[in-house]
Amino acid sequence: MDETKEKLQQIVNSLEGAKSIETAHLIFNSVAPCVPLVGSLASALVAKHTEAGQTKLNEAVYSVLETHDDAITKLWDAIFDTRPSKAQFIMLFEEVTGLPMPTSLDANHEIHILLNPITVEKFEPYIRLRWIEIVPFANIIVQLGGNNQIGDFIEDKKNPYGLGNSFKMIVKKGFFI
């Protein structure tokens, strides 16, 4: 742990020193046209020093990252986990249909629904997992947003705008296993 603190302190020191070096670099670059040889040499020396400092900073950052690679990878995976979950599916299902999620393992549950194409896209990951099946049904196209009731079809409650198509949504047994 002391080694990590030391590396982090090197990073902090590099960043603090960078401001004064950057100022010196700016001054020498401003003076260079006035005193061609001396200014150019001074500017080149400052640039070399800056590059060396950047190299040290890069090495210190790399060392810390290399030491804690596993922890960083786990954190990254936890933050950016995009795998679909059952909880996400239940929330989407209830938001779209306005119905509670079926809980029975007995059979596939069918719901007739009018869906916006955007909502159909949101269900794609769950279709690939075979938790649900969305099948075009009855060939009905409706203007969504008017709380349409066509037979036993439910209107999309998540995206109730634009044109919607009729589907039979089947919640598969595989979701409950």
Rg, Å, the chain Cα set? 31
**Would you state the pLDDT for residue 147?**
77
Among 79, 84, 112, residue whose Cα is nearest residue 96: 112
**Would you state the pLDDT for residue 140?**
86
Domain count, the chain: 2
**Would you state the pLDDT for residue 15?**
57
**Would you state the pLDDT for residue 120?**
95
Query: Maximum CA pair distance of the chain?
Result: 89
**Would you state the pLDDT for residue 115?**
94
Quickly count: other Cβ atoms within 10 Å of residue 158's Cβ. Answer: 16
Among 100, 20, 9, residue whose Cα is nearest residue 56: 9
Are 91 and 68 part of one and the same domain? no
Are 6 and 71 part of one and the same domain? yes
Residues 6+ positions from 123 with CB-CB distance below 8 Å: 92, 132, 134, 169
- Work out the end-to-end distance of the chain between its first and last CA atoms, rounded to an integer number of angstroms: 45
Are 64 and 140 part of one and the same domain? no
Ordered per-residue pLDDT tens for the chain, 177 residues: 577 667 666 666 665 655 666 666 666 666 666 666 656 666 666 667 667 777 877 787 778 778 888 887 888 777 777 788 888 999 999 999 988 888 776 667 888 999 999 999 999 999 999 999 999 998 888 899 887 777 788 888 999 999 999 999 998 887 877
- Domain span at residue 102 reads 86-176
